[in-house]
Amino acid sequence: MKILVCVKQVPERESRFRLDPSGKGYSDQGINFVLNPYDEYALEEALLIRERLGQVEITALSLGPARVEKIIRRALELGADHGAHILTPESYYLGPGETALQIVKFTRERGFDLLFFGIISEDYMRGQTGPMVAALLQLPFATAVVSETISDDLGLITVERELEAGAREVVELPLPAVLTIQSGINRPRYPRLTDKLRARAQKLEVITGLEPLPPGRCAELLRAFFPPPSPAGTFITGALEEQAEKLIRIIREKTDVL
Amino acid sequence: MNKDIWIIAEHFENRVRPVTSDLVAFARKMGGEVKAVILGHPVKPLAEDVAQKTGCEVTGIDSPGAAVYNSEVYRNLIKKLCERNQPRYLLVPHTPLGWDFAPALAVDLGYSSISAVTDFNPENSTFIRQILNGKLLEELKSPPGCSAVVTVMPGSANPEPDNTRPPGSVKILEFESPPVKTRTIRYLPAKPGTVNLKDAEVIVAAGRGLKVPERIELIRELASLFKRGAVGASRPLCDQGWLPLEHQVGMTGATVSPKLYLACGISGALQHTMGMKNSSLIVAVNTDRKAPILQVAHFCVNTDLSKFIPVLIKNIRKFRG
Ligand SMILES: Cc1cc2nc3c(=O)[nH]c(=O)nc-3n(C[C@H](O)[C@H](O)[C@H](O)COP(=O)(O)OP(=O)(O)OC[C@H]3O[C@@H](n4cnc5c(N)ncnc54)[C@H](O)[C@@H]3O)c2cc1C
């Protein structure tokens, strides 16, 4: 069995942002980039399937500028067998449709049985790439997957999709299939030293040249901006003791819980 | 293509879901003719309900395969409808149902795809959405002359009260079930928990700002000082197993509105605030002065929670005597 895990590099959660000169996105100067947390769950699920079934080959694929090599190596450290990098120019805006198209091109004639994505990436939070890849390849898919089992003949995958407020839905898909993985499905591992050493030395497959997207398929990005200052919120100032006293007073004024 | 805005109504167990009214309100804010589309089997009572409640003209697509949600069925049937009469915008709720089929439907139709929008700017016909967990917003538009599938965050517009307009007309179309590969097997309701967040008067909620699981004790202790106090959590804490799932607040957890919600080390992602923004008094304890939680919090203590909470506990005890 062959599993493709698409991974994305995103800014660390604690990052502080500035706008880039184009005004359309954030500046990546001084930002520490990491593997998208949701993709970490997707990769872990692929690793668990390999442990369960044996004969499984896992490829980690990422699109992006030169800096994304770091997270492809991270995926190798965590246990992926192969790493592939579709290189894009620096500061190049990739919409979900264009990203999906490149991934589809990559998958051609590679015979993947499962294609895994994180449910969203924490930078643009669109959650579109996985389902778009599935639509382009005419493969069945499921989003927000929180558990999976594969049939003995490797023909079917049964998943639980997360719905609202703790409810779930059981869906059955024939392979090949596309899944987007929700956080909490597993507990991602830490790399082993041997894998770290292997990952450092391993050659990545690098692909250059992007397939153009037909016109009208991509929304036009006009600008990025900071949310307006909070309308209501008041800061409770002072030293710790003073802040605590003030807060108690506020709670007593506004509620009857104290 | 015409200028119509179509909204896809959502229903579950024979009831139209309230998010449908949010979507209608959002579409009306955008201007233009708003029509509703609903898929089901039998769909007529549902379609009539939408027409009655929202006053929209409703097209009900009746197909045996649409009795319960199936992404392939939805894509296939909505595509058929769009091929007859192409709308400018197809609005879909950004819910586990909507985000599932919308991007793939956009590919099928050759439309552009915009997800999780929270606002529309009528001056430039642009959509606003959050990026980077709400730290920045972006403004996008579907190119002129191109149709778009847009998913709209629940709660992005204030719905009118039901039945304020004359009921819209209802048209039922019967479509055959398309062949599908994906099978929906069953629905699993949420497991009943022992923690009752809904009845709590005070929720002290913990987020990743806790940094170490030992600090949950601080949160527990603070919550225990109130008569009907409970411990809430953001999703990552439950994902990591620091607290059981039943403590989770937000889109995929509980929706709560206690008298006091104390958000400790929670950044305020939309998926979290959706579940608590109607609390009477919201106080955030957060080291980041710009954390998105401040968009919904009434007060903020801009201090390290590990320093502040012990002092707050001590002072509440002192006050109680
Ligand atoms: C489909 C989907 C559904 C989801 N459903 C939910 C849901 O139901 N509920 C939910 O909560 N999330 C949900 N999420 C996840 C959500 O998007 C966010 O990732 C999550 O809410 C972030 O949790 P957090 O605020 O605890 O962590 P972070 O975003 O990492 O925020 C931590 C905060 O702590 C602050 N902090 C750090 N150190 C300290 C300190 N010492 N003292 C005080 N403050 C400190 C930081 O400034 C920051 O604001 C969902 C996501 C998806 C994709």
A2-207 architecture in CATH? 3-Layer(aba) Sandwich (3.40)
B283 touches chain A (CB under 8 A): yes
CB contact under 8 A, A132 and B303: no
Mean per-residue pLDDT of chain A: 95
Q: What is the mean pLDDT of residues A75-82?
A: 97
CB contact under 8 A, B99 and A220: no
For residue B266, give the nearest of B280, B251, B254, B283 by alpha carbon.
Answer: B283
Q: What is the mean pLDDT of residues B311-320?
A: 93
B273 lines ligand 1 (CB under 6 A): no
Can you tell me the distance from the alpha carbon of A247 to that of B300, in angstroms, rounded to the nearest whole number?
A: 9
The two tokens of residue A36 are: 């998208």
A120 lines ligand 1 (CB under 6 A): yes
pLDDT value of residue A232: 64
All domains in chain B, ordered by first residue: 5-174 (3.40.50.620), 197-319 (3.40.50.1220)
Tell me which residue has tokens 């919904």: B296
Q: What is the mean pLDDT of residues B246-259?
A: 94
Task: Flag whether pLDDT at B194 surpasses 80.
Answer: no
The two tokens of residue A250 are: 């506020």
- For ligand 1, atom 19, the nearest C-alpha belongs to B269
Min Cα separation A202/chain B (Å):
31
Phi, psi angles (nearest 5°) of residue A68: -75, -10
What digits encode the pLDDT tens for the residues B219-247? 999 999 999 999 999 999 999 999 999 99
What digits encode the pLDDT tens for the residues B147-177? 999 999 999 999 999 888 999 999 999 999 9
Q: What is the mean pLDDT of residues A57-68?
A: 97
Q: What is the pTM of this model?
A: 0.94
Instruction: Give the pairing of strands B229-233 and B260-264.
Output: unpaired
Q: What is the mean pLDDT of residues A172-177?
A: 98
C-alpha distances (whole Å) from A28 to each of A18, A96, A114, A120, B289 are 8, 19, 32, 20, 21
B134 lines ligand 1 (CB under 6 A): no
A185 DSSP 8-state letter: S
Distance B211 CA to ligand 1 centre (A): 12
What digits encode the pLDDT tens for the residues A106-137? 999 999 999 999 999 999 999 999 999 999 99
B282 lines ligand 1 (CB under 6 A): no
C-alpha distances (whole Å) from A212 to each of A8, A95, A100, B3, B140 are 20, 12, 11, 28, 20
Distance A110 CA to ligand 1 centre (A): 38
B288 lines ligand 1 (CB under 6 A): yes
CB contact under 8 A, A224 and B307: no
Q: What is the mean pLDDT of residues B186-207?
A: 89
- For ligand 1, atom 40, the nearest C-alpha belongs to B304
What is the H or E stretch that residue B5 is in? strand B5-8
CA of A162: which chain B residue's CA is closest? B96
Tell me which residue has tokens 């004639």: A109
Q: What is the mean pLDDT of residues A63-91?
A: 96
Q: What percent of chain A has pLDDT over 70?
A: 99
Distance A22 CA to ligand 1 centre (A): 29
Task: Flag whether pLDDT at A230 surpasses 80.
Answer: no
Q: Return the beta strands (E) in chain A as ranges.
A: 2-6, 9-11, 33-35, 57-64, 82-87, 114-118, 141-150, 156-162, 168-174, 177-181, 205-207, 220-225, 234-235
CA of A146: which chain B residue's CA is closest? B239
ipTM value: 0.94
Instruction: Give the pairing of strands A114-118 and A2-6.
Output: parallel
Task: Flag whether pLDDT at A233 surpasses 70.
Answer: yes
pLDDT value of residue B183: 96
B57 pLDDT band (50/70/90 cuts)? very high
Residues from chain B that touch A175, judged by Cβ atoms under 8 A, are none
Min Cα separation B79/chain A (Å):
13
Instruction: List the single best residue of B88, B153, B182 to mutate versus A (max A Cβ within 10 A).
Output: B182
Min Cα separation A138/chain B (Å):
10
B220 lines ligand 1 (CB under 6 A): no
What is the H or E stretch that residue B1 is in? none
* The three-state (H, E, C) secondary structure of A23-41, written as one string: CCCECCCCCCEEECHHHHH
Can you tell me the distance from the alpha carbon of A182 to that of B135, in angstroms, rounded to the nearest whole number?
A: 22
- For ligand 1, atom 30, the nearest C-alpha belongs to B208
CB contact under 8 A, B300 and A234: yes
Nearest to A224 among B131, B228, B290 (CB): B131
pLDDT value of residue A92: 85
A13 lines ligand 1 (CB under 6 A): yes
A231 pLDDT band (50/70/90 cuts)? low
A213 pLDDT band (50/70/90 cuts)? confident
A218 pLDDT band (50/70/90 cuts)? confident
C-alpha distances (whole Å) from B123 to each of A128, A241, B89 are 27, 49, 16
What digits encode the pLDDT tens for the residues B258-285? 999 999 999 999 999 999 999 999 999 9
Q: What is the mean pLDDT of residues A176-182?
A: 98
Task: Flag whether pLDDT at A214 surpasses 90.
Answer: no
Q: What is the mean pLDDT of residues A73-84?
A: 97
Task: Flag whether pLDDT at B78 surpasses 80.
Answer: yes
B1 pLDDT band (50/70/90 cuts)? low
pLDDT value of residue B2: 64
CB contact under 8 A, A184 and B187: no
B319 pLDDT band (50/70/90 cuts)? confident
Residues from chain B that touch A218, judged by Cβ atoms under 8 A, are 112, 143
Q: Return the beta strands (E) in B76-167 as ranges.
A: 89-93, 112-121, 126-131, 136-141, 148-152
Q: What is the mean pLDDT of residues A214-233?
A: 83
A45 DSSP 8-state letter: H
Q: What is the mean pLDDT of residues B81-109?
A: 96
